[in-house]
Amino acid sequence: MQSADAARPSGSGRSGVRRRLRRRSRRGPPAPGDPRNIGWLYVLPGLAFYGLFTLAPLLHTVYYSLFSWDGLTAKTYVGLQNYSSALTDAALRSSFVHSAVLIAFYAVIPVLVGLLLTAALTRHPVRGFRFFRTALFLPQLIAGVVIAQAWTWIYDDNGPLNWALRKVGLGSLARPWLGDFTWALPSIGAIGTWVTYGLCMVLFVSGVQKIPSTLYDAARVDGAGATREFFAVTLPGLRGEVLVALVLTTINALRSFDIVYNTTAGGPGGSTLVPSMYMYQNAFLYNKVGYAAAVATILAVTIFILAGLVLRVGDRSERA
């Protein structure tokens, strides 16, 4: 971009154009509209709600995290002590480890499954994709509490999963999945996979439609098979979509509360404890409000850093 700009003749009459071009290269398309400070009039009401009920509480959480407080009696200022105890808190550490496992299930597996399905679908135009899309999108709109009830039944001792296992002679594998120390966390992870893979898939398939078909024609003329075609054309073309899917699903994994609370509530024996659940327990069950605020702050910072990292990496690779 920079070099193309410099190559332009630098006549004085062009300087306005050049400046505009340079601004475009730095900040994307120029902002529309002429300067009108009346814009503030339209922004202020919405900004007020957002500031008062979203941003301010977040800052307030950070403030609480500097205190030792049971929620009833007076607060005592303790500086960063909540954070130093967080560093050595085994339960908090394990909750983040559980989150990492959930990221594999909520983000990595759905993206891989989505890519695989997309690969299967790009060789030939599929008719009636809209019909399938209806089904694939369904998990996205169902409340977490309802999803939790549905899967609690699927994993139930007498539920469909164990019934099917017994039917096919794998009865030794049957167990109350959500009550099992080893299997509860992967079982919750599988719920996350179920919720997200359809979204990833629809996202990728709509992305493929934006890849110029000439690229596919060229690959086919060169005699590329399905695999080559996928890695040479489809995957590079979907980089943006894959990144976005990873950001969204990773954030969802880190934030997961509804499903955990309504299936295992962190149990058995803390084996499915996740940070938001731990925050809730500390704030509203153990009366350790200051510490809960510190956990919430750590979670928020983790999410912002992860999202920022992925978006920045994506931004760079898109420009390259």
Partner 1 sequence: MTAGYFERIGAYGVLALFSVLAIYPVLSILFLALHRKTDLVSGFAFPTRLDLSSFKAAWTEGRFGTGFKSSFIVAAAVTLVSAVLSIGTGYAFGTMRFIGDRIVFPVILLGIIFPYEATVIPLYYDFQNVPLLHLHLLNTYWALILPQIGQSVAFGTFWMRSFFRSTPRSLIEAARIDGATSFGVLWRVLLPQARPAVTTMSVLVFTYTWNEFLLALVLVSGSQSHQTAPLGLSFFAGAVRAGDPTKVAAAAVLVAAPILVVYLFLQRHFVRGMLAGAIKE
Residues from 231 through 290 that contact partner 1 (CB under 8 A) = 240-241, 244-245, 247-248, 251, 254-255, 257-258, 261-262, 276, 279-280, 283-284, 289
Q: Helix 289-319 to helix 275-284 angle, to the nearest 10 degrees?
A: 160
Spatial distance between the Cα atoms of 158 and 167, rounded to a whole number of angstroms: 12
Judged by CB under 8 A, does residue 156 bind partner 1? Answer: yes
The smaller minimum CB distance to partner 1, of residues 231 and 304, is found at 304
- The enclosing H or E element of 56 equals helix 56-64
Among 52, 173, 218, 313, binds partner 1 (CB under 8 A): 52
Shortest Å distance, C-beta 278 to partner 1:
11
d(CA 274, CA 261): 10
Piece of 32-40, 91-99, 104-112, 228-236 that binds partner 1 (CB under 8 A): 32-40
β-pair partners for 77: 67
Among 9, 16, 28, 46, binds partner 1 (CB under 8 A): 46
Closest distance to partner 1 from the beta carbon of 41 (Å): 8
Q: Residue 133's closest CA among 203, 41, 180, 184? A: 203
Q: With beta carbons less than 8 A apart as the criterion, state whether 289 and 218 touch.
A: no
**Residue 43: both structure tokens together:** 């922004």
106 touches 192 (CB < 8 A): yes
Q: How far apart are CA 31 and CA 26, in angstroms?
A: 12
Interface positions, 285-314, toward partner 1 (CB under 8 A):
289, 292-293, 296-297, 299-300, 303-304, 307, 311
In angstroms, the CA 306 to CA 312 distance is: 10
Which residue in 21, 108, 121, 224 binds partner 1 (CB under 8 A)? 121
Site for partner 1, residues 12 to 31, rule: CB under 8 A: 31
Shortest distance in whole angstroms from residue 212 CB to partner 1 = 18
Q: In the complex with partner 1, which residue's Cβ is closer, 160 or 236? A: 160
Tell the smallest beta-carbon distance from residue 66 to partner 1 (Å): 13
Return the range that interacts with partner 1 (CB under 8 A); candidates 1-9, 147-155, 168-176, 215-223.
Answer: 147-155
Closer CB to partner 1, 13 or 32, in the complex: 32
Extract the tokens encoding 283. 């704030």
DSSP for 207-260 reads HHTTS-HHHHHHHHHTT--HHHHIIIIIHHHTHHHHHHHHHHHHHHHHH--HHH
